[in-house]
């Protein structure tokens, strides 16, 4: 009985250490990554695990609160966080949705990645079992109006490698990063956005 109790305590301690280590990796990512650039592939998977549409593009960030998420294939869409607002531009619809950055934290995972140390306060955190060669951390938005019920971050030996987004219908969007560059010099104007002439702008400017 004593042996079993010691073993159970040891396992609990290891689980706590693992949780701390994973969250520490997120904190290290926030602290050490002032700018970043990566390519991404995003795949939508339904609640039954069937893969659906996929998209690809480029992701840029600059702390605090600036990011550019550009979808180039198979359609064109742009999300830009300028540090104050988040602009979502759908080229096919010629429509722009604009939101305050703080309001977009739970709805826009790119805003989570580009946030500062205070980003932890917008979510509750849970360590997940390692899978696919990655260590996983789950973030549940405190804001119940978020578009997502959970955001999962996957880390490999080099840092952030993947995101998984779960919506209220059980649909998952899986994002894999490649060619990840930490602290590159980014082009001027990367995080500014002006709605195109004639575009329908929805939200608070």
Structure confidence at residue 205 as a pLDDT band (50, 70, 90): low
The arithmetic mean of pLDDT across residues 150-172, rounded, is: 86
CATH (one of 2.40.40.20, 3.50.50.60, 2.50.20.10, 3.40.50.10860) for 22-203: 2.50.20.10
Residue 36's H or E segment, with its range, is strand 35-45
Instruction: Identify the residue whose tokens are 């560059």.
Output: 181
pTM given for the model:
0.75
pLDDT of residue 122: 76
Average pLDDT, the chain: 80
Q: How far apart are CA 115 and CA 86, in angstroms?
A: 13
The strand ranges marked E within the chain are 35-45, 51-62, 66-73, 77-82, 85-90, 95-100, 123-131, 134-141, 148-156, 159-167, 172-182, 200-203
Q: How far apart are CA 160 and CA 40, in angstroms?
A: 12
Q: How far apart are CA 9 and CA 3, in angstroms?
A: 10
The token pair that represents 102 in the structure block: 């703080």
Q: pLDDT tens, 74-92? A: 988 999 989 888 899 999 9
Highest mean pLDDT among 16-20, 110-114, 147-151, 158-162: 158-162
The token pair that represents 60 in the structure block: 């840029």
User: How far from chain centre, in Å, is Cα 198?
Assistant: 31
Closest to 64 (Cα-Cα) out of 98, 18, 114:
114
């Amino acid at each position: 009985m004593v042996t079993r109790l010691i073993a159970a305590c040891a396992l609990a301690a290891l689980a706590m250490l693992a949780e701390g280590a994973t969250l520490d990796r997120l904190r290290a990512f926030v602290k050490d990554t002032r700018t970043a650039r990566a390519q991404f592939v995003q795949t939508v998977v339904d609640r039954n695990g069937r893969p659906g549409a996929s998209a690809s593009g480029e992701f840029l960030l600059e702390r605090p609160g600036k990011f550019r998420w550009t979808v180039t294939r198979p359609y064109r869409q742009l999300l830009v966080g300028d540090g104050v607002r988040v602009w979502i531009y759908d080229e096919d619809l010629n429509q722009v949705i604009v939101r305050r950055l703080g309001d977009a934290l739970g709805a826009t995972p790119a805003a989570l990645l580009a946030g500062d140390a205070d980003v932890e306060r917008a979510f509750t955190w849970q360590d997940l079992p390692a899978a696919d060669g990655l260590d996983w951390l789950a973030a549940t938005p405190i804001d119940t109006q978020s578009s997502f019920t959970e955001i999962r971050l996957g880390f490999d030996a080099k840092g952030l490698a993947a995101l998984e987004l779960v919506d209220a219908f059980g649909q998952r969007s899986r994002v894999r990063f490649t060619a990840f560059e930490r602290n590159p010099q980014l082009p001027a104007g990367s995080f500014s956005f002006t709605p195109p002439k004639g575009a329908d702008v929805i939200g608070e400017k």
